[in-house]
């Protein structure tokens, strides 16, 4: 028997028993607002499932190690996919996650070791509604900047005051010059923030779009 109690005039509290393997057992009579509220809850479930399972696996790994994979078959998802969900959850603490930003964006950002970079990119992704391509390009830029600064000590036989130039190349949709320039402008923010943080003076920043 379906058990649903009314928590508020226009919202239904869903009992776990309504979720069956191949059905959603809802009452045959409800208002439009109540029906709509159920849909919003289901949307939330869809957005959050990767995080929920990822956190479950991360805890299992911490508590039981390799033994936890014995329970993986019960989820019914490929082991490689589950391992990806677990990895992202372990890489990004709960306080770094942004519910309004797609999980796939978080997966790209999780590859960065610098917590400040992860915060900057996710914040921009939320405020500017960045696409997956834009996030991927920003992660590329962050990795390139990190690689440039791996060895910040003086190099023998080289004047430390000597200026250097570097370039980053990104791929944008063919024929979409506007989108390409928008990506570059977003990347400029990331580059400038990093150089400012390191006390490096940016003398010139040039763009080329073809």
pLDDT of 22-39, one tens digit each?
Answer: 898 888 888 898 889 889
* Residue 66's pLDDT band (cuts 50, 70, 90): confident
Of 15 and 205, which is predicted with more confidence?
Answer: 15
Cα-based torsion angle of the residue sequence 153, 108, 188, 126 in order, rounded to the nearest 10 degrees: -130
Mean pLDDT of 55-73: 89
Mean pLDDT of the chain: 78
Secondary structure percentages of the chain, helix, strand, coil, to 5 = 60, 5, 35
pLDDT of residue 97: 96
Q: How far is CA 27 from CA 39, 76, 112, in A?
A: 14, 28, 47
User: How confident is the model over 114-152, as pLDDT tens digits?
Assistant: 998 899 999 999 998 999 988 998 898 888 777 766 545
| pLDDT at res. 90 | 96
Which pLDDT belongs to residue 106? 97
Q: What percent of the chain has pLDDT over 90?
A: 32
Q: With left for phi above 0 and alpha for psi between -120 and 50, is residue 147 left, alpha or beta?
A: alpha
> Can you give the residue ranges of every domain in the chain?
99-148+172-203
Confidence class for position 54, pLDDT limits 50, 70, 90: very high
The tally of CA atoms less than 13 A away on the side-chain side of residue 62 is: 10
Note the pLDDT of residue 163.
52
């Amino acid at each position: 028997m379906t058990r649903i109690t009314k928590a508020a005039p226009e919202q239904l509290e869903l009992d776990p028993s309504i979720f069956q393997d191949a059905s959603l057992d809802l009452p045959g009579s409800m208002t439009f607002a109540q029906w709509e509220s159920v849909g919003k809850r289901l949307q939330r479930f869809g957005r959050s499932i990767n995080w929920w399972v990822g956190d479950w696996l991360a805890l299992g790994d911490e508590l039981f190690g390799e033994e936890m994979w014995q329970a993986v078959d019960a989820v019914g998802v490929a082991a490689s996919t589950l391992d990806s969900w677990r990895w992202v959850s372990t890489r990004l603490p709960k306080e770094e996650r942004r519910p309004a930003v797609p999980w796939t964006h978080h997966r790209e950002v999780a590859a960065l070791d610098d917590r400040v970079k992860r915060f900057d990119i996710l914040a921009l992704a939320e405020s500017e509604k960045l696409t997956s391509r834009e996030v991927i390009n920003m992660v590329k830029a962050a990795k390139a900047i990190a690689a440039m600064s791996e060895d910040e000590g003086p190099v023998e036989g080289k004047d430390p005051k000597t200026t250097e130039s570097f370039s980053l190349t990104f791929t944008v949709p063919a024929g979409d010059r506007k989108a390409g320039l928008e990506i570059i402008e977003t990347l400029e923010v990331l580059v400038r923030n990093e150089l400012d943080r390191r006390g490096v003076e940016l003398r010139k920043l040039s763009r080329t779009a073809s």
